[in-house]
């Protein structure tokens, strides 16, 4: 039996989590769920955005599933802090185009590997002499670790190229370390092509030639921004899953936020959560079921009969969820 920590969070995080739990209940696997609180509503109730009890639940679980959280003014981000507590230093964000969904290109299929523990997201900020300063922390150790993950993911996904994204022409020391660390690790993978681009150029190339990317490895802030751009290439954040992987823990979350503008309307796209669950099952080495989920999402989305408004349809969250689950249970693959 797999022990799964469930942290619904705020807004549509709770709605898509219901879809995720419904899916997990239908699979031919044994799960036990333990629930934790986090986010804006949690802060209003408990005075903290991420209680110690939630951290304990996540640490003793086989994997953690997180919905979404609304930002709380003046308070730390619960998901950033949970990533740090679990030391899940690699954020994996796949970008894939689907038939029937409007996208820049029909053959987009790349992975963004984002360093998850430092950079500007170190949250080290302070005021000094009428200035507000944020420290950007980049270490050789973390840079080498994330580069290794990128090359290993390239092998696992049977890709040919890893691209390092940085801004070392301006951030000469911090991104200089990131770039140097990347090429140091690249020496251990002579059969994989390695190259690098500045982040501004990469932002343009994702629009003009997205099919030329296989695996992108980059720092925390750049990865956050580029992965949202990548989602925009293939139909939006409703199709954007992610996994946070470390040596001892796995934390999985859809890329989208809590979307308060549509929360409670029952129209949130559950595909990002469902694809995120497929990533979680990969992490748990349940590859056959993970592949079925990915294929079912692809088939249902491509058919175009049951789509939520963000994908051009008029179906509800529960209707799309049911269509995908029916495809998983009935599909011959």
Closest to 251 (Cα-Cα) out of 16, 56, 13, 65: 65
More confident site: 124 or 187: 187
pLDDT of res. 333 = 60
Q: Which fold has domain 104-233?
A: Isopropylmalate Dehydrogenase (3.40.718)
Give the model confidence (pLDDT) of 118-149 as tens digits.
999 888 889 998 999 999 999 999 999 999 99
**Inter-CA distances, 26 with 20, 29, 181, 317, Å:** 10, 8, 44, 17
More confident site: 293 or 107: 293
Q: What is the average per-residue pLDDT within 255-263?
A: 93
Residue 247 corresponds to which tokens in the numbers above? 């040596």
- How many CB atoms are closer than 10 A to CB 44? 10
More confident site: 8 or 102: 8
pLDDT band at residue 281 under the 50/70/90 scheme = very high
pLDDT of res. 188 = 98
Closest to 326 (Cα-Cα) out of 299, 304, 286: 299
Closest to 69 (Cα-Cα) out of 279, 256, 224: 256
pLDDT of res. 316 = 97
Q: What is the average per-residue pLDDT within 48-77?
A: 96
Cβ–Cβ < 8 Å for 95, 64: no
pLDDT of res. 104 = 78
Residue 33 corresponds to which tokens in the numbers above? 């769920």
Q: What is the average per-residue pLDDT within 279-289?
A: 97
Percent of the chain exceeding pLDDT 90 equals: 92
Q: What are the structural domain ranges in the chain?
A: 1-92+236-333, 104-233
What is the CATH number that goes with domain 1-92+236-333? 3.40.718.10
- How many CB atoms are closer than 10 A to CB 18? 17
pLDDT of res. 332 = 67
The CA distance from 244 to 253, in Å, is 8
Q: What is the average per-residue pLDDT within 190-211?
A: 97
The CA distance from 246 to 37, in Å, is 22
| Dihedral sign (CA 276, 277, 282, 284) | positive
Please, what is the average pLDDT of the chain? 95
Q: DSSP readout, 100-155? A: TS--S-TT-EEEEEEE-S-BGGG--EEEETTEEEE--B--HHHHHHHHHHHHHHHH
Percent of the chain exceeding pLDDT 70 equals: 99
CA dihedral 262, 263, 267, 271 (to 10 degrees): 110
- How many CB atoms are closer than 10 A to CB 322? 19
pLDDT of res. 91 = 97
Q: What is the average per-residue pLDDT within 32-59?
A: 97
Can 1-92+236-333 and 104-233 be said to share one CATH topology? Answer: yes
Q: Flag whether pLDDT at 17 surpasses 80.
A: yes
Task: Kindly report which listed range (71-75, 152-156, 226-230) carries the lowest average pLDDT score.
Answer: 71-75
The CA distance from 228 to 61, in Å, is 29
Q: pTM for this one?
A: 0.93
Running DSSP on this structure, what letter comes out for residue 49?
S
Residue 205 corresponds to which tokens in the numbers above? 């190339």
Residue 329 corresponds to which tokens in the numbers above? 């249970």
């Amino acid at each position: 039996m797999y022990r799964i920590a469930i942290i619904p969070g705020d807004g549509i995080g709770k709605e898509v989590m219901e879809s995720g739990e419904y899916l997990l209940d239908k699979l031919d696997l044994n799960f036990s769920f333990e629930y934790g609180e986090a986010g804006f509503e949690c802060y209003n109730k408990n005075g903290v955005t991420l209680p110690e009890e939630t951290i304990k639940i996540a640490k003793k679980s086989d994997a953690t599933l997180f919905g979404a959280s609304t930002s709380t003014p003046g308070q730390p981000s619960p998901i950033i802090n949970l990533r740090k507590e679990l030391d899940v230093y690699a954020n994996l964000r796949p970008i894939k185009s689907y038939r029937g969904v409007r996208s820049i290109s029909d053959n987009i299929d790349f992975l963004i590997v984002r360093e998850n523990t430092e950079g500007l997201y170190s949250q080290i900020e302070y005021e000094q002499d009428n200035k507000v300063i944020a420290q950007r922390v980049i270490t050789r150790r973390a840079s080498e670790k994330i580069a290794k993950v990128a090359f290993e993911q390239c092998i696992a996904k049977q890709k040919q190229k890893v691209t390092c994204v940085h801004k070392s022409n301006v951030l000469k020391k911090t991104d200089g370390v990131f770039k140097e660390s990347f090429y140091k690790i690249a020496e251990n993978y002579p059969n994989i092509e390695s190259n690098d681009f500045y982040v501004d150029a990469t932002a343009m190339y994702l629009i003009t030639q997205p099919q030329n990317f296989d695996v992108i490895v980059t720092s925390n802030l750049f990865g956050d921004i580029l992965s949202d751009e990548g989602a925009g290439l293939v139909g939006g954040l409703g199709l954007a899953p992610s996994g946070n992987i470390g040596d001892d823990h796995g934390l999985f979350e859809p890329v989208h936020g809590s979307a308060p503008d549509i929360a409670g309307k029952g129209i949130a796209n559950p595909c990002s959560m469902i694809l995120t669950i497929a990533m979680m099952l990969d992490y748990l080495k349940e590859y056959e079921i993970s592949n079925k989920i990915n294929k079912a999402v692809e088939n249902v989305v491509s058919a175009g009969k049951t789509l939520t408004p963000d994908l051009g349809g008029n179906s509800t969250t529960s209707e799309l969820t049911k269509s995908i689950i029916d495809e998983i249970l009935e599909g011959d693959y």
